A and B are shown apart, each in its own frame.
Chain A
Amino acid sequence: MTDDAVIKKFTRRVPHWRPRVTPVDLGEATEAQRDAMKVTPSNRKVSDYILTLAHDPESLAVRSPLFNAIMYHDGGLDRAGRELGAVAASIVNRCVYCAAVHAGRMPDDDASRAAIDEIFGKGEAAVLEGRAAAIFAAGLALSRAPSAFGPEHVEALTEAGVSQDEILDLVLSVALFGWANRLMHVLGDPVRKDTP
């Protein structure tokens, strides 16, 4: 195992994730672990990431529905805004895997493609326009440690037409990726797909 395989640069191509701890062996999983992983007779393909998190089934069981509620509930901030918040957090925390996955969930339009090109090329120094600029700046600031999120970010979002409800959705998606990045980037490495 060489570390040459570890991907350090942001990329649209979703890497393979290589865990730094031994994932749970599906054949030996407890009932609580199988429940948390949602293993059913028709769903027996479980990723190494989920098998790794299954070491803590209580957390895994509650996090998955919360993740879906924050990222994919109806109404509020649009898909592009929430995914851009997720990408901003992943840039600050340098989670190459999360950035690739969530860049891929941005809408398939010219504006989103241009924004991701700019972000993956320049990182935190990326220059975006209008509403996307306000969302990205807020996402970067809230993700820093300690957080640098301040009234100027709320003001810029409000001026860009983002409502209070939508700002809360952005806070939730950015914060959620402070969580996800600390699992994905801390517990494993993004590697090229053909790496064992």
Chain B
Amino acid sequence: MCGICGCSQPNPNSTAHHHDHTHDHDHHDDHSHDHDHHNHDHHDHKHSSHEAERLIKVEQDILSKNNLYADQNRAFFRQRGILALNLVSSPGAGKTTLLVETIKMLKDQLAIAVIEGDQQTDHDAERIRATGVPALQINTGRACHLDAHGIGHALMELGIKPNSLLAIENVGNLVCPSAFDLGEAHKVVVLSVTEGDDKPLKYPDMFHAADIMLINKIDLLPYVDFDVERCIEFARQVNPNLQIIQLSATKGENFKVWTDWLTAQFPDHA
């Protein structure tokens, strides 16, 4: 049994479960309060126990459990010199193709492993395995994102080598995965030019959470109504520090800028 979470999977990490968390709490007078009234009566003593009601201060981040697992994953990566990237995008932006091409270019230089997240099927993991690198598929079922707990288990199953590049391809979704830290070094957001150039403004959480944005499928620019400059301007409004690379994963245009960025993250391999 997993000693961290009590689930029936093997323990992803031997570190004991702890509940420490810090409280950053600013109160502002302009809080507004919404009360959701349900159709039950708080004064209905027929249903209440005899114990008096009391107030308990909790002050706990709703994501605290996920963040604890993310910290454990991050420690796992740090101890082994693993660079973990969390690739996020809408469905169809080209994450898997980008990974396949990245692996083809770098696999002789770097140990690479991939965790694939999709609601169903292991088609993507099969595509990755065809390149000769290990890949594990996580099917999230009804969930719309990967979480740090699932990644912890995947790490144990994958048997990842020290000093590897670990690419985690998240579920295609520009909303939910932004909230869930997986322990990665960077979120990489992929936006393809067949989408709207205003996506950074429409889905600001993700572009705010990412460190690098890849504008993919630039070979299709002549055929689509996508204004690259406008897109970059919007993205930098949301995140002034965002690094941006324009490339085409299928045609190879500018692809070396991306792989150079990746290898630069591994000083020993560059």
Determine if chain A interacts with chain B: no
A residues lining the B interface (CB < 8 Å): none
B residues lining the A interface (CB < 8 Å): none
